[in-house]
């Protein structure tokens, strides 16, 4: 739930040469003209990273190769080795499919009581190389 809140924070960058924009997938409406809201800059990159991490194989139409492959690792025994494998898979999918983010580090911390992993992703947005962005995602199996 914290990644959802991170992606909703308002931190537009005014000194950009190019502004990144994406649609708000919650489909909330603007008050002024009843159009769908858009996410810009850091918000758009955070949402894209979260979607890449949570995406499974064959979920993206016409691009079955784009996926984090994380869900299959959530059913393994919780060990520090699995946490390292999860962080490496996330690093690989971000490096391959998100050119707007320059990755600094990923930490996957197993939470044995909740049977989940807390993943912290630190990155710079290419348009704003001075602002370090910290994003956290909780990964848990659904069944």
pLDDT number for residue 1: 46
User: In sequence order, which residues have a C-beta less than 8 Å from that of residue 118 and are 6 or more positions away?
Assistant: 108, 109, 111, 136, 137, 138, 139
Instruction: Residue 48: name the closest of 114, 118, 137 by CA.
Output: 137
Q: What is the chain's pLDDT, residue by residue, as a tens digit (143 residues)?
A: 444 444 444 455 555 566 666 666 666 777 777 777 776 678 888 888 998 998 888 888 888 888 888 888 888 899 899 999 999 999 999 999 999 899 999 999 999 998 899 999 999 988 777 789 999 999 988 76
pLDDT number for residue 40: 67
CA atoms in the 13 A half-sphere facing the CB of 73: 24
**Which CATH number do you get for residue 53?**
3.10.450.40
pLDDT number for residue 33: 77
pLDDT number for residue 19: 65
* Domain extent at residue 47: 2-140
Beta strands in 25-100 (DSSP E): 38-40
pLDDT number for residue 8: 44
d(CA 133, CA 79): 27
CA angle in degrees (0–180, nearest 5) for 143-74-118 = 110
Q: Which helix (H) or strand (E) holds 84?
A: helix 80-97
User: In sequence order, which residues have a C-beta less than 8 Å from that of residue 57 and are 6 or more positions away?
Assistant: 64, 65, 67, 69
18 alpha carbon, distance to own chain's centre? 21
pLDDT number for residue 4: 43
> What 8-state DSSP symbol labels residue 74?
G
What pTM was computed for the model?
A: 0.75
Domains: count for the chain: 1
**Kind of pairing between the strands at 38-40 and 101-111:** unpaired
């Amino acid at each position: 739930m914290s990644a959802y809140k991170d992606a909703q924070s308002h931190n537009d960058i005014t000194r950009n040469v190019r502004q990144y924009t994406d649609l708000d997938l919650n489909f909330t409406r603007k008050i002024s003209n009843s159009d769908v809201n858009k996410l810009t800059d850091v918000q758009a990159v955070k949402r894209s990273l979260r979607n890449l991490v949570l995406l499974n194989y064959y979920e993206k139409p016409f691009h079955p190769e784009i996926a984090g492959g994380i869900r299959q690792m959530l059913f393994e025994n919780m060990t520090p080795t699995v946490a390292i494998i999860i962080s490496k898979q996330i690093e690989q999918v971000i490096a391959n499919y998100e050119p707007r983010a320059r990755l600094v580090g990923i930490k996957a911390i197993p939470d044995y009581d909740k049977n989940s992993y807390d993943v912290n992703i630190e990155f710079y947005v290419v348009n704003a190389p001075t602002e370090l962005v910290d994003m956290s995602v909780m990964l848990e199996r659904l069944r």
